[in-house]
C-alpha cells in the first residue's frame, strides 16, 4: 500500500472512530476540567486560523498572525467586545468545529505520529444584563491504538481527553468591562512567534506545529478593562494557574530527548504544578493610541507556565534519571508597538524576564538548573496584498546579561523568520514559513497548501522539516520531519 493510499484509508477510518468516540462525551464536554501540562517555547504556531473564527473569538481576533487580513488596516482590527445593556437578552447560539489531522513521520524510525480528531462545541448568549459563553473540547487520537512506537504513558496522556475551553461571563458598566471565568488573555501579536503573549498557556505536545486555536489553553481568570478615548487599561488576576502541556517522556515532541540506548525503565518523570492560593498570577497592561502609534506596556507576575526540568541521577541498584517539573515564580515586564505606514506595518515587542531557570550541561550541578534574567525582543515588517497575500519579515534576539557558561545557549542568540502566503483562484492558498537561527545550524521549514471551500470546509496538507544540531530548538527534533493532512468543518 502506498503512503498516499494509507493516508486516505486512515482519514476515513479515524473520522468514523471520532464520530463514535465523540457521541459519549458530548454531554460531559462542557463540565470536564482541563488538565494542565508543561513547557513554553519561544516560537509559536504559524498556521492561519481562518477556520477557527467561530470557535475561539478572541484567540482568532487578536492572536499572533492567525487572522488573514484583507488589507493593511485589518492587521490592527480588534473584534469589539459585546456590551450588554440592562434587560437585554439574546437567544443562545451553538457553534463549533470538527478537525481531523493525520501526520506521518518519515525519518528513521518512520511511524504514524498523529491521527487526531478534535470536536469543539461553544454555546453563547445574553441574559440578565450579561453576555456569557460556555465551550468544551473532546480529542481522540487512534494512532495510539495501532502504532507501537509510543510508551504506555504517552498513550494514556494523548489518546483521549476532554477539557473546558472559554467559559465566562461578561459584565459591562459604562467604561468598565469585566470578564470572569476561563478565557484567553492575549498580549502578543507577532506572526509565528510568542514574546509578549506571556499570559496564555500552551499545548506543546505537537511542539509549535498546531493551529493557534488548538495550541492555546485559556486561563481561569478575573479581568477588568477600562476604555476611555484612545486609552485602555487592563488588570488580570489568575487564582488557579494553567500550565503549559508538553506531555510525557517518549512523546513525539517531549522537550528532553534521551539517547536511544537509554533503558526505558531508567527514567522517572515527576509532574509538579503548584496550585495553592499563593501560586496564582496577576498583571496589568496599559495601551495608548497616539498619532497612529499603538503603544502598550505590561507587567506580569506568575509561576512560570514554562517548566524547567530539574534532574537527579542515581546509580543504585541501576542508573536512574529523575526529571521533575519546576515552575519558579518569575517577573515579566515588557512593551509592544505597532504602526501602519500605509504600504507596510511595523510591529515590535520586547520583554524582560527575571528568575527563569535554564538547564546546564554541568553534571556536577545538583539539579542541573541555573536561574537567569533574559531580554527578548522582536521587530517585524509586514506587507498585505490585495489578493489576500502576506509577506512578513521578522528579526529577534535573546540576551542573557549574566550568562552562565554551562548553559547550552550563548549569551546572545539571534534569529529570523520569513512568512509568505497568497491566495490563488479563490480557493487555493499556499503558505511558506521559515524560522532560522542566525548563530547556529538550527531551522524549521513549513510548507502548506490549503483548499478553502468558501463555506464550512477547509482541507490542507503540508510538510514540516527540522534541521540542525542536537540541543538546538529545532535541531533537537531533526528526526521528526513529517507530512500531514488536515480537514476542518465549521458549524
472 — pLDDT class (breaks 50, 70, 90): confident
363 — pLDDT class (breaks 50, 70, 90): confident
Confidence (pLDDT) at 287: 97
Domain, as residue range, for 24: 3-490
CA distance 357 to 372: 6
Mean pLDDT of 121-147: 95
pLDDT tens profile 279-338: 999 999 999 999 999 999 999 999 999 999 998 888 777 778 889 999 999 999 999 999
pLDDT tens profile 366-409: 889 999 999 999 999 999 987 788 999 999 999 999 999 999 89
167 — pLDDT class (breaks 50, 70, 90): very high
Of residues 433 and 260, which shows the higher confidence score? Answer: 433
- List the 267-270 sheet strands across, edge first: 267-270, 320-326, 308-314
Pairing between strand 216-217 and 111-127? Answer: unpaired
Length of the chain: 491
Confidence (pLDDT) at 88: 67
Mean pLDDT of 443-470: 94
Mean pLDDT of 31-41: 37
pLDDT tens profile 212-261: 778 999 999 999 999 999 999 999 999 999 999 989 988 999 888 666 66
Confidence (pLDDT) at 263: 67
Of residues 211 and 85, which shows the higher confidence score? Answer: 211
CATH code at position 21: 2.40.160.10
pLDDT tens profile 20-29: 433 333 333 3
- CB neighbour list of residue 409: distance below 8 Å, 6 or more residues apart: 358, 398, 400
Indicate whether 353 pLDDT > 70: yes
Confidence (pLDDT) at 259: 62
Output the 3-class SS for the chain.
Answer: CCHHHHHHHHHHHHHHHHHHHHHCCCCCCCCCCCCCECCCCCECCCCCCHHHCCCCHHHHHHCCCCCCCCCCHHHHCCCCCCCCCCCCCEEEEEEEEEEEEEEEECCCCCEEEEEEEEEEEEEEEEECCEEEEEEEEEEECCHHHHCCCCCHHHHHHHCEEEEECCEEEEEEECCEEEEEEEECCCCCCCCCECCCCCCCEEECCCCCCCCHHHHEECEEEEEEEEEECCEEEEEEEEEECCCEECCCCCCCCCCCCCCCCCCHHHEEEECCCCCCHHHCEEEEEEEEEECCEEEEEEEEEEECCCCEEEEEEECCCCCEEEEEEECCEEEEEEEEEEEECCCCEEEEEEEEEEEEEEEECCCCCCCCEEEEEEEEEEEEEEEECCCCCEEEEEEEEEECCCCCCCECCCCEEEEEEEEEECCECCCEEEEEEEEEECCCCEEEEEEEEEEECCCCEEEEEEEEEEEECCCCCCHHHCCCCEEEEEEEEEC
Comparing CA positions, the residue from 461, 463, 464, 465 lying closest to residue 486 is 461
Indicate whether 454 pLDDT > 90: no
Q: How many domains does the chain have?
A: 1
Amino acid at each position: 500500500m502506498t503512503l498516499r493510499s494509507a493516508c486516505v484509508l486512515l482519514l476515513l477510518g479515524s473520522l468514523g472512530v471520532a464520530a463514535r468516540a465523540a457521541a459519549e462525551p458530548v454531554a460531559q464536554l462542557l463540565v470536564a476540567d482541563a488538565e494542565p501540562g508543561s513547557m513554553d517555547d519561544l516560537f509559536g504556531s504559524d498556521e492561519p486560523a481562518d477556520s477557527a473564527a467561530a470557535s475561539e473569538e478572541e484567540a482568532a481576533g487578536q492572536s499572533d498572525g492567525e487572522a488573514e487580513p484583507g488589507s493593511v488596516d485589518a492587521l490592527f482590527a480588534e473584534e469589539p467586545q459585546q456590551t450588554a445593556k440592562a434587560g437585554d437578552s439574546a437567544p443562545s447560539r451553538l457553534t463549533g468545529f470538527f478537525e481531523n489531522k493525520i501526520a506521518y513521520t518519515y525519518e528513521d524510525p518512520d511511524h504514524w505520529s498523529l491521527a487526531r480528531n478534535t470536536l469543539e462545541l461553544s454555546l453563547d448568549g445574553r441574559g440578565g444584563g450579561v453576555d456569557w459563553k460556555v465551550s468544551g473540547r473532546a480529542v481522540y487520537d487512534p494512532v495510539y491504538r495501532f502504532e507501537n512506537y509510543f510508551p504506555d504513558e504517552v498513550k494514556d496522556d494523548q489518546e483521549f481527553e476532554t477539557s473546558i475551553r472559554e467559559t465566562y461571563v461578561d459584565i459591562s458598566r459604562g467604561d468598565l468591562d469585566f470578564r470572569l471565568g476561563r478565557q484567553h488573555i492575549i498580549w502578543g501579536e507577532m506572526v509565528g512567534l510568542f514574546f509578549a503573549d506571556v499570559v496564555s498557556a500552551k499545548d506543546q505536545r505537537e511542539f509549535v506545529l498546531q493551529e493557534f486555536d488548538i495550541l492555546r489553553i485559556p486561563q481561569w481568570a478575573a479581568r477588568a478593562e477600562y476604555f476611555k478615548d484612545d486609552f485602555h487599561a487592563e488588570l488580570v488576576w489568575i487564582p488557579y494557574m494553567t500550565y503549559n502541556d508538553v506531555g510525557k517522556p517518549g512523546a513525539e515532541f517531549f522537550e528532553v530527548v534521551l539517547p536511544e540506548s537509554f533503558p526505558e525503565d531508567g527514567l522517572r518523570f515527576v509532574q509538579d504544578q503548584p496550585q495553592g492560593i499563593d501560586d496564582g498570577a496577576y498583571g496589568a497592561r496599559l495601551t495608548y493610541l497616539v498619532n497612529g502609534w499603538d503603544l502598550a506596556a505590561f507587567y506580569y507576575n506568575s509561576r512560570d507556565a514554562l517548566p524547567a526540568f530539574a534532574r537527579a541521577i542515581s546509580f543504585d541498584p541501576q542508573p536512574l534519571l529523575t526529571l521533575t517539573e519546576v515552575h519558579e515564580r518569575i517577573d515579566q515586564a515588557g512593551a509592544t508597538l505597532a504602526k501602519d505606514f500605509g504600504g507596510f506595518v511595523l510591529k515590535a515587542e520586547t520583554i524582560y524576564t527575571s528568575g527563569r531557570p535554564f538547564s546546564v550541561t554541568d553534571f556536577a550541578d545538583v539539579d542541573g538548573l541555573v536561574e537567569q534574567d533574559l531580554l527578548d525582543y522582536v521587530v517585524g515588517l509586514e506587507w498585505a496584498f490585495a489578493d489576500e497575500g502576506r509577506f512578513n519579515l521578522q528579526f529577534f534576539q535573546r540576551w542573557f546579561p549574566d550568562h552562565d557558561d554551562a548553559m547550552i545557549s550563548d549569551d546572545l542568540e539571534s534569529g529570523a523568520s520569513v512568512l509568505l502566503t497568497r491566495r490563488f483562484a479563490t480557493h487555493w492558498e499556499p503558505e511558506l514559513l521559515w524560522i532560522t537561527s542566525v548563530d547556529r545550524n538550527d531551522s524549521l521549514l513549513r510548507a502548506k497548501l490549503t483548499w478553502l471551500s468558501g463555506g464550512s470546509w477547509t482541507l490542507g496538507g503540508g510538510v514540516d522539516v527540522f534541521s540542525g544540531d542536537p540541543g538546538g530548538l529545532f535541531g533537537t527534533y531533526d528526526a521528526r520531519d513529517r507530512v500531514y493532512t488536515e480537514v476542518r468543518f465549521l458549524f
